Every structure is written in C-alpha cells, then in structure tokens.
Chains A and B, each alone.
Chain A
C-alpha cells in the first residue's frame, strides 16, 4: 500500500500553509512512507518532547521552524527543557550550552506550545479523550496516554512531534490502528503477595520486568485489579518504557481497553501467559541498582515528575526532620503551585529538599558532583542515571529514600521482598 495524500495535505506540502508547515509535512510524509502508513490522520493534541537541549543542532532546527512562520495547530504541551525556569534550580551547563538551551525553550514557546514543561502533562490538565488520535512524545507520557487514558499515539520521537503539531496530522500506523492495540501476551502477578502488590516500590519493578518481556509488543498484566493508583500506573509505564520500546500496556480490570480478557485480546483465543515469580521480580529489582556501597551521596525522585500527592507524601515522611544529603524532587509547575496552595513548599525546602521544576536530574547536569551514589524510587531514574549523570544507583521505596537521606547511609526495608 502506498501513501495517499488529500488535497489539503498536498496544499500544505506545496507551501500554502507557509514554509515551516511545508517542511513539517515533508518530515511527516517521509515518516509515513517509512512506516508503511496509507494516509495521514487528524490529531486532537500533541505533547512535545523536542525542546530538550542535547546540542546546538536541535536549537537550530527549532529556530528554523520559527523563522519559517511555524505555529502549532492543535493544543501542544511541552515536555521538560534543560533549564529550570520556574524554581530556579541551578544547572552546571556551561554558558554557551545554557544560552542555546534557553533559546530552544523560547523557540518552542514562540511556536505556540504551552509552557507546561513537564513529563507528566496528564497530571497538568492535558488528558485527551478515550479513542482520540494524538501525537505525543516522551516515552512515559506516550505509555500513560495510550494505556491509562486510552487515547491513541505512537511513540513520536523528537522533531516528529512538533511536525505533527504544526500540521495537526500524524501518519496512520501502529497504535493509531485498533487491531495493533490488542494484547498478545499476559504477565500474571496473581501469585505475588497482596502486601507487595499494594506497595509503591513494587510498581517500577514490575514495570521494568514488563518492559524487558514486552520489547515493542503489547501485553496485559493480570492480578493487579485492586492495587492500581494513578501514580502507580505512572511509575509502571515509565519503567516499562525505559526497559523496552513500550508504547502501550494493559492492566486487566484497570486500564480502559482491558475490562476483560476477550476485549483486551480481541477474541476468545488464549494468550501466552508468563507467571511472575518472586525470583523474576528479584532479578528485575536487583538490576535497578548498580551500586553496592552503603553510603548515599544524593537522592532524587520525580521521574516521571512528582504529582502534588507525591510531594505531600514526601513531606509527611520527612516529618519535620532535616535531610543530611542533597535531595532533589523533580516536578512540574502545576505541582509546585499546588504544593504552595497546600502551604507546604517552604517546609519541604526548609528540610533540605531542592525542588526542580521544568526539567530533571537525568536530562541536565543538576547533581552537585559528577560521580557518587544516587538513591531513587524511580525505575526510570535508576535506568538512566548511571549513563547520564555518572552516579551509581540504589533503588528503594520513597520511605527508604527519605530515611537514607536523613542518615546519609543506605536504609532499605527488605521485608516486602523476602
């Protein structure tokens, strides 16, 4: 099948919507051909991952779009940038990189994108409706959007996301097509203890295991009906999308496209079932830590960005104590404002927590040194921190992170896993 373009598509391609829209259409058309799409489809919204500075090339591309008159044609939220423009957390970016990162952020705002600057836009009021087609970037946001909201998006990488937003179109392939959203395998957690399944620290671990088993396939997780919360699903999806090319997961009885096995599998046929054993879980969990040291140099939470509920939980666990090591809570402006409204921002900061908004510690150099041991409750931070920050990682629950930060030594409750 070859790609069929409408008259309107061709008009944009021919420059009738301006130079930048024509460029964006060329990128879309080439991607559509590459992925075997038969047509372009309208999209309801976009989430743009492309505004994070990795080098000057990305800034120059954004500025070329702006110079060509680019404006987004649908609601477009922005993922993180490389700078905290809201809480003012300091980065160690050299002057040139700092300036180019800021130019990049301003270029995306100039195209009409919302200054949301968060990897959890779905907790900042951007929640597309069930069954709608959208073009989202950022692997955790894609997983949440598809799986928890039931909107349809592929994993739109940097630069394709803004091209979709400018043209209000996306190539029709992959997860936009209902049959590609069906589960092809099942991961069964029903043999695990209720206490474990009902703990926060379990979800990034089972997400990691899911990602390792799934690759880019779609599966359904069984046995978690009574334990899912929005923040747990967020943590699962982020870990899964770090460990595999996961764009969509289902959790039976929880996520909207998995009310029962027949619906999620698309028929009465039996799916291959992988029973999750404590040993498999133990191995996935062990893989999240790379350090064997008992000393902790820093703690970071908030990948994906903390919700206000998570920040308030942190506040409760600190319980008025003073933290002995640097503690970074990465979050969005939406949650910082909610924390202020709850009257707890000053208390959290006084305890020693650095609030990092608009960005996070694995995408830009915020940690005060270039090596050491970082503790985190995030499967995604655990995955990316060693390569991106130079720190070794210890994975643990939020409570473990707080206790370790108070004492400066690794404090981890192992009882759940025994």
Chain B
C-alpha cells in the first residue's frame, strides 16, 4: 500500500519516520498547537496535551484559523514539526507552511493523501515513508 505524495522536490525530508498519532477530531494548528513546542493546546480537543513533534500525524481535517501555515513554519524551523502529515484532502492553508519552508531552505516534512477509510484503519506503530508514499511499519 502507498499513499499519494502532496509535496515534492528537494527540501522535503525523505525518508520520514515517526510514531503514528491519529487525531480524534479536526485541529486548527493556530490556537490548537503551541508554535514553540508542538504541544496541542486546544482544551476542547481530545488529544489536548499530546505533542505533534516528530510524529506521523494523521489529521481527519484541518479547521479554523488561516494562520495554521505560520504555526507549521515555526515548528519546522524550531525542530518540533511532525515527521509527516497524513491528510484526507489537500489543505492549502496548512501545507503552505511546508512550501514556504522549502523556499527558506529549511527541510520540511512530507505530506501524503490517504482516504478517510484507510486513515481510520491505520494501527499504532512506527511508520517510515519514502518520497513516493510507500511506507513500512514497525510495531511498538
């Protein structure tokens, strides 16, 4: 099984590896994630308190603020970005963070498109993604 890469070119980290964090609700990065640490701070979010730094982040949807790209860009520069983003639909607001990071010369995490069903079926483990979206999983 492979997922569809949404970003390509030099500047996108490959391979990308990290433990899966599957969010139980949509998340706005701005107002939802601390840009300094990567911790989820939206108190109404089921994963509030968890960190998205270094994880393979499966997002059911992104919502809310148009500043989410800015938060992702800060996380990329300060080393607390997710290892990879798994999205059901391409999201221009969030992924601009990766696009701009490439322009700034800061290595950015890859993003892959995955169906909602396939995302729901993902099981915990360490995932490692190649640039083409193929991946391997190690159980933890």
Instruction: Point out the residues of chain B lying under 8 angstroms from A287, CB to CB.
Output: 44
Q: How far is the CA of A242 from the CA of B65 in the complex (A)?
A: 7
Q: Is the CB of B92 within 8 A of A60?
A: no
Q: Is the CB of A387 within 8 A of B77?
A: no
Q: How far is the CA of A23 from the CA of B35 in the complex (A)?
A: 24
Type the 1/0 row for B80-109, where 1 means its CB is closer than 8 Å to any CB of A: 000000000010111111011001101000
Q: Is the CB of A215 within 8 A of B63?
A: yes
Instruction: Point out the residues of chain A lying under 8 angstroms from B90, CB to CB.
Output: 34-36
A49, A61, A290, A386: the one contacting B100 at CB < 8 Å is A61
B32, B64, B99: the one contacting A31 at CB < 8 Å is B99
Q: How far is the CA of A384 from the CA of B26 in the complex (A)?
A: 15
Q: How far is the CA of A138 from the CA of B104 in the complex (A)?
A: 23
- Is B2 among interface residues, defined by CB-CB distance under 8 A? no
Q: How far is the CA of A64 from the CA of B43 in the complex (A)?
A: 35
Q: Is the CB of A30 within 8 A of B63?
A: no
- Is B56 among interface residues, defined by CB-CB distance under 8 A? no
Q: Is the CB of B93 within 8 A of A155?
A: yes
Instruction: Point out the residues of chain B lying under 8 angstroms from A388, CB to CB.
Output: 31, 41
Interface size on B, residues (CB 8 A): 41
Instruction: Point out the residues of chain B lying under 8 angstroms from A244, CB to CB.
Output: 63-64
Q: Is the CB of A160 within 8 A of B92?
A: yes
A-B contact count (CB 8 A): 134
A54, A60, A64, A241: the one contacting B70 at CB < 8 Å is A54
Instruction: Point out the residues of chain A lying under 8 angstroms from B28, CB to CB.
Output: 242
Closest Cβ neighbor of A245 among chain B residues: B63
Q: Is the CB of A158 within 8 A of B64?
A: no
Q: Is the CB of A362 within 8 A of B74?
A: no
Q: How far is the CA of A377 from the CA of B48 in the complex (A)?
A: 25
Closest Cβ neighbor of A215 among chain B residues: B61
- Is A149 among interface residues, defined by CB-CB distance under 8 A? no
Q: Is the CB of A159 within 8 A of B92?
A: no
Q: Is the CB of A55 within 8 A of B36?
A: yes
- Is B51 among interface residues, defined by CB-CB distance under 8 A? no
Closest Cβ neighbor of A161 among chain B residues: B66
Instruction: Point out the residues of chain B lying under 8 angstroms from A34, CB to CB.
Output: 6-7, 90, 92, 95
Instruction: Point out the residues of chain A lying under 8 angstroms from B55, CB to CB.
Output: none
Q: Is the CB of B99 within 8 A of A27?
A: yes
- Is B71 among interface residues, defined by CB-CB distance under 8 A? yes
- Is A342 among interface residues, defined by CB-CB distance under 8 A? no
B62, B63, B65, B73: the one contacting A57 at CB < 8 Å is B73
Type the 1/0 row for A6-30, where 1 means its CB is closer than 8 Å to any CB of B: 0000000000000000010011001
- Is A202 among interface residues, defined by CB-CB distance under 8 A? no
B32, B43, B65, B73: the one contacting A159 at CB < 8 Å is B73
Instruction: Point out the residues of chain B lying under 8 angstroms from A158, CB to CB.
Output: 66-70, 73, 96
A49, A154, A215: the one contacting B67 at CB < 8 Å is A49
- With A54-B71, A216-B61 already in contact, the answer to whether A31 and B96 are too (CB < 8 A) is yes
Q: Is the CB of B96 within 8 A of A387?
A: no
- Is B42 among interface residues, defined by CB-CB distance under 8 A? yes
A57, A154, A384: the one contacting B104 at CB < 8 Å is A57
Q: How far is the CA of A159 from the CA of B76 in the complex (A)?
A: 15
Q: How far is the CA of A30 from the CA of B6 in the complex (A)?
A: 10
- With A64-B104, A155-B93, A159-B100 already in contact, the answer to whether A383 and B31 are too (CB < 8 A) is yes
Closest Cβ neighbor of A138 among chain B residues: B66
Instruction: Point out the residues of chain B lying under 8 angstroms from A242, CB to CB.
Output: 28, 64-65
- Is A56 among interface residues, defined by CB-CB distance under 8 A? yes
Q: Is the CB of A386 within 8 A of B66?
A: no
Instruction: Point out the residues of chain B lying under 8 angstroms from A50, CB to CB.
Output: 70
Q: How far is the CA of A161 from the CA of B69 in the complex (A)?
A: 11
B32, B44, B96: the one contacting A157 at CB < 8 Å is B96
Question: Closest CB-CB distance, A195 to chain B, in whole Å?
Answer: 29
Q: Is the CB of B61 within 8 A of A155?
A: no
Instruction: Point out the residues of chain B lying under 8 angstroms from A60, CB to CB.
Output: 104
Task: Name the residue in B35, B62, B70 with the highest tally of chain A Cβ atoms < 10 Å from its Cβ.
Answer: B70
A sample of 21 inter-chain contacts (CB < 8 A) reads A31-B99, A34-B92, A54-B70, A54-B74, A55-B35, A56-B74, A58-B73, A139-B66, A156-B92, A157-B94, A158-B70, A159-B100, A215-B26, A215-B61, A241-B64, A245-B63, A383-B31, A383-B64, A386-B42, A387-B32, A387-B41
- Can you add 9 more A-B contacts, CB < 8 Å, to A34-B95, A155-B66, A290-B43? A52-B67, A56-B77, A64-B103, A64-B104, A139-B65, A157-B92, A160-B69, A160-B93, A215-B61
